[in-house]
């Protein structure tokens, strides 16, 4: 009875059922793992939060996320998202300028965490700007690329009628204004606060426009322009003894590329318990603890609530959530999570093939690629395959802004899939095994039986 009710619930949902199941499963995993990964001792020592407070915050975030997902899924369709997408670049620029210039307007002000300006405070609510920008720019570029293909930029057409602006008729000019410049400006502004986020979001934007139909040759120009601008900034910064980029993360990023500090070497060579030794140890503590968690997890894990590395890594439920999952649930649990994101990517490709318009195709492809790429990036960081990037595990790691924006992304994908649902259902029926088409197969078998029995009767008459 319970099984039939659950099935009826899923059957009644519109949109892609597989995406629904993946979304709800990830949210369920998030609730279980964040509660278990919170170190009770650490929270009590801080004196600000207990584990119960953490769980209550988590439940509020999950409820808000589900509400945001349902609003995006129920209240908007592909046409509405096309209109919203036109304003996403402007919104992204405003938010990023708040961070770069540390602006404050009434209750809205830029705020820093550990010296990095990445959030905006609205009253007591902290909003992580980069989480909003990555979703907003996928939406904007999906619209811009689609408009380029159709040649239907309203403003460019009107302005091109003016004598001195007739150059706006050219396709290159439109690409430069609506695609190249937005991509460059967003990457450069993000780089002021986070080099790794700038690289990741830049790659997602690059992939989105490629999916939209632009060739790699067409993207060579913005690529060279970006390299040229960054090189010029670095040279000017060097000539000014580092004062130009002094208060930006771009300066930190440049120093890392030039070699930076070898913290492992310092730990080995410095005097134990010295300030230098302790500083270097703090720098490598988290990535090493993540590797230890994965090693100790083994195949089946230690079991729920048995993690030991959560007492060493301060925010394991954010940047190192995948390591925690492997520690408690083993390689088996890690593979299950990996399969969920791969399934999302595979199912997204099915939705893309069956979308009615090119905007919906680019939008879904960009969002699904963003979610799955960030998941893979997070896993590789946890496995120490690549350096730390600070990317969370989508819809599982703790973080209000991140969780809400990924819920919105899933809601958009589900909304677009609802428009393509009939075509997907038709393809699914075609893909079913022959034995599943009972009526058609049974009719053909009956006809074959009638034919054979008729042939037997003719033989009997001849005899």
Give the separation between CA 307 and CA 38, rounded to whole angstroms: 10
User: For position 209, what pLDDT does the model report?
Assistant: 94
| pLDDT tens-place string over residues 168-188 | 777 788 888 899 999 999 998
Strand partners, 122: 108, 125
Q: How many CB atoms lie within 10 A of CB 127?
A: 18
Measured at the CA of 19, the angle between CA 18 and CA 22, to 5 degrees, comes to: 85
| CA end-to-end distance (rounded Å), the chain | 59
Which tokens is 416 given?
Answer: 């677009």
Give the separation between CA 188 and CA 150, rounded to whole angstroms: 29
Give the separation between CA 172 and CA 373, rounded to whole angstroms: 30
User: For position 163, what pLDDT does the model report?
Assistant: 66
Residue pair 207/400 in contact by the 8 Å Cβ criterion = no
pLDDT tens, the chain, 463 aa long = 555 555 565 566 777 889 999 999 999 999 888 877 765 444 444 445 666 777 788 889 899 999 999 999 988 888 999 999 999 999 999 999 988 888 888 788 888 766 667 888 887 778 899 999 999 999 999 999 998 888 766 666 666 666 677 667 777 888 888 999 999 999 989 988 887 888 899 999 999 999 998 888 888 877 777 777 777 766 766 666 655 555 555 555 555 555 455 666 676 767 777 777 777 766 777 778 888 888 888 888 888 888 888 777 767 778 889 998 999 999 999 999 999 999 999 999 999 988 888 999 999 999 999 999 999 999 998 888 877 777 889 999 888 899 999 999 999 999 999 877 666 666 666 665 655 555 555 555 565 556 556 555 555 544 4
DSSP code at position 180: I
| pLDDT tens-place string over residues 374-411 | 999 999 988 888 777 778 899 998 888 999 999 999 99
């Amino acid at each position: 009875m319970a099984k039939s009710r659950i099935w009826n619930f899923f059957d009644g949902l519109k949109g892609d059922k597989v995406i629904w199941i993946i979304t709800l499963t990830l949210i369920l995993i998030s609730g279980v793992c964040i509660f278990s990964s919170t170190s009770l001792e650490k929270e009590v020592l801080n004196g600000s939060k207990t584990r119960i407070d953490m769980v209550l915050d988590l439940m509020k975030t999950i409820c808000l996320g589900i509400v945001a997902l349902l609003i995006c899924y129920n209240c908007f369709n592909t046409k509405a998202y096309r209109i919203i997408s036109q304003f996403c670049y402007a919104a992204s620029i405003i938010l990023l300028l708040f961070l770069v210039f540390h602006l404050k307007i009434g209750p809205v002000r830029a705020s820093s965490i550990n010296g990095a300006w990445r959030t905006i405070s609205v009253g007591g609510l902290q909003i992580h700007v980069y989480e909003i920008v990555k979703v907003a720019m996928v939406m904007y570029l999906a619209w811009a690329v689609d408009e380029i293909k159709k040649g239907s930029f309203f403003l460019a057409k009107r302005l091109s009628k003016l004598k001195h602006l007739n150059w706006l008729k050219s396709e290159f000019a439109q690409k430069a204004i609506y695609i190249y410049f937005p991509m460059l400006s967003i990457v450069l502004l993000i780089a002021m606060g986070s080099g790794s986020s700038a690289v990741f979001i830049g790659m997602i934007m690059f992939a989105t426009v490629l999916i939209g139909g632009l060739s790699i040759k067409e993207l060579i120009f913005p690529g060279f322009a970006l390299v040229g601008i960054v090189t010029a900034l670095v040279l000017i910064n060097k000539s000014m003894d580092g004062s130009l980029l002094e208060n930006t993360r771009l300066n930190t990023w440049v120093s890392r590329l030039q070699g930076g500090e070898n913290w492992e070497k310092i730990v080995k060579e410095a005097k134990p318990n010295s300030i230098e030794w302790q500083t270097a140890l703090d720098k490598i503590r988290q990535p090493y603890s993540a590797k230890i968690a994965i090693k100790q997890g083994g195949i089946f894990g230690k079991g729920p609530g048995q993690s030991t590395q959560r007492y060493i890594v301060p925010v394991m439920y954010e940047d190192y959530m995948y390591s925690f999952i492997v520690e408690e649930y083993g390689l088996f649990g890690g593979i299950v999570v990996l399969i969920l994101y791969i399934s999302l990517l595979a199912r997204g490709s099915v939705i893309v093939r069956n979308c009615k318009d090119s905007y919906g195709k680019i939008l879904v492809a960009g969002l699904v690629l963003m979610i799955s790429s960030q998941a893979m990036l997070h896993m590789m960081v946890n496995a120490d395959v690549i350096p730390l990037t600070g990317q969370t595990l989508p819809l599982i790691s703790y973080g209000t802004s991140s969780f809400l924006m990924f819920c919105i992304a899933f809601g958009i994908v589900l909304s677009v899939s609802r428009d393509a649902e009939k075509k997907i259902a038709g393809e699914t029926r075609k893909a079913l095994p022959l034995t599943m088409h009972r009526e058609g197969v049974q009719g053909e078998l009956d006809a074959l039986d009638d034919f054979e029995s008729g042939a037997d009767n003719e033989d009997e008459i001849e005899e």
